Amino acid sequence: MSLVPMKQILDEARKKGYGVGAFNVNNMEQVQAIMAAAQKTKSPVIIQASRGALKYSNFTYLKHLMLAAVEENPNIPMAMHLDHGNSLDSVKKAISLGFSSVMIDGSLLEDGKTASDYDYNVKVTRSVVEYAHQYGVTVEGEIGTLGGIEDGVGSGSIHLTDPAEAKRFVDATGLDALAIAIGTSHGAYKFKGSTNLAFNVLKEVRALITIPLVLHGASSVPKELIDAVNQYGGKMPGATGVPMKELQEAITLGVSKINVDTDGRLAITAAIRKVFATEPEKFDPRDYLGPARDTLTGIIAGKMNDFGTAGHASDYQPLSLADMKKVYAK
Ligand code: G3H
Ligand code: 13P
Ligand code: ZN
């Protein structure tokens, strides 16, 4: 059994100074591509599902796809993680499905859009920690809100994590991993001009707290994928992401979990568009979902190498949730 608490994957990564990608999934091909990349590079892996993904797949389908990945890949430590949980109820649902890790994003209110205040964030995160740790399940929280420094959503540093507040938040909640805002944003249009990440904030946070740090909005939006999408009929002018060199810098400065959804979407879209444009006679879904899966495998394997995850799958003995329960009970 290779389903492990995410805490183990991140603590090991933190110890050795490498990053672990957390890849979003909605369907079978994405799950298979991630596991194929993990096998190819011998990497531990975090598979994550958003509330939208769980709803899209009617919960049970995605649960069983992730469990199939566990069953098929006993040599790969894998965490099943809820991305951007918005309430204790959404966390309870994920834990009932067998997830080994949950995020509670208390930086936003339950609508997932409105910025909350610090007291709300502490209260909801603390309630999730108390609940999840009884099951040995890892908890990720977030302080500061995403949205680029230059993306027009508010202005400048008001979105960025305040390091002193991050320290108080960790002490008040007892969570296992902390997502911080250093100027990234979700999606394919992250920066208007050049990349502008607040590495000074990351350094200050890292100096104050010891738990693993998480970077959301970490897709690189590679030019070759955007070019392929546009070449075969897509329309994504001006798409930009976080260059790999900057992600590697963030890992060196102490980020352990790197969230990637958009790049997976782009890989799939580029591959499918190419088949539709160049082989218009094809109509068997395997003829375009197969290439999509292969393209995604290549993109993810590349990230596993670049983040330094490759080769670490058999560094440690996997812990179970029951083992973790005992750790939390001490
Ligand atoms: O953080 C957001 C992820 O990219 C998930 O997106 O809610 O559209 O599934 P989604
Ligand atoms: P991207 O949109 O940059 O892939 O970020 C995904 C993410 O943060 C999921 O939680
Ligand atoms: Zn996110």
CATH number for the domain whose boundaries are 6-322: 3.20.20.70
Report how far ligand 2's centroid is from the alpha carbon of 329 (Å).
33
Compute, in angstroms, the gap from residue 69 CA to the centroid of ligand 2.
21
Distances (CA, A) of 135 to 42, 131, 321: 28, 7, 7
- Provide the CA 170 distance to its chain's centre, in angstroms: 20
| Cα–Cα dist 220/263, whole Å | 7
Q: Over pLDDT 90: what percentage of the chain?
A: 90
Phi-psi region of 221 (alpha: psi -120 to 50; beta: other; left: phi over 0): left
The pLDDT, as a whole number, for residue 150 is: 41
Specify the DSSP element, H or E, that contains 142: strand 138-143
Atom of ligand 2 nearest to the CA of 263: 4
Cβ(135)–Cβ(325) below 8 Å: yes
Rounded mean pLDDT, 46-55: 97
Alpha-carbon Rg for the chain in angstroms = 19
Q: Is the pLDDT of residue 155 over 80?
A: no
Angle among Cα 283, 288, 289 to the nearest 5 degrees reads: 120
pTM of the model: 0.96
Closest CA to 146 of 124, 194, 176, 113: 113
Region 58-82 average pLDDT = 97
C-alpha 329 to ligand 1 mean position (Å): 33
Which of 146, 219, 303 should be mutated for ligand 2, with most atoms under 8 A from CB? Answer: 219
Residue nearest to atom 6 of ligand 1 (CA): 50
At residue 112 the predicted structure's pLDDT band, cuts being 50, 70 and 90, is confident
Measured in Å, residue 140 CA sits from the centre of ligand 3 at 11
Work out the average pLDDT over 298-322.
Answer: 98
83 is catalytic: yes
Please give the Cα distance from 251 to 26 (Å, whole number): 27
Sign of the four-CA dihedral 102, 104, 105, 108: positive
Judged by its nearest atom, the ligand closest to the C-alpha of residue 264 is 2
| Local confidence band at 180 (pLDDT 50, 70, 90 cut-offs) | very high
For a mutational test of ligand 2's pocket, the pick from 108, 186, 257, 296, i.e. the residue with the most ligand atoms closer than 8 A to its C-beta, is 186
Ligand nearest to the CA of 241: 2
Q: Looking at residue 1, what is its pLDDT? A: 62
The Cα–Cα gap between 1 and 317 comes to: 11
Q: Hey, where are the domains in the chain?
A: 6-322
Q: Which residues sit with their C-beta closer than 6 Å to ligand 1? A: 24, 50, 52-53, 83-84, 186, 261
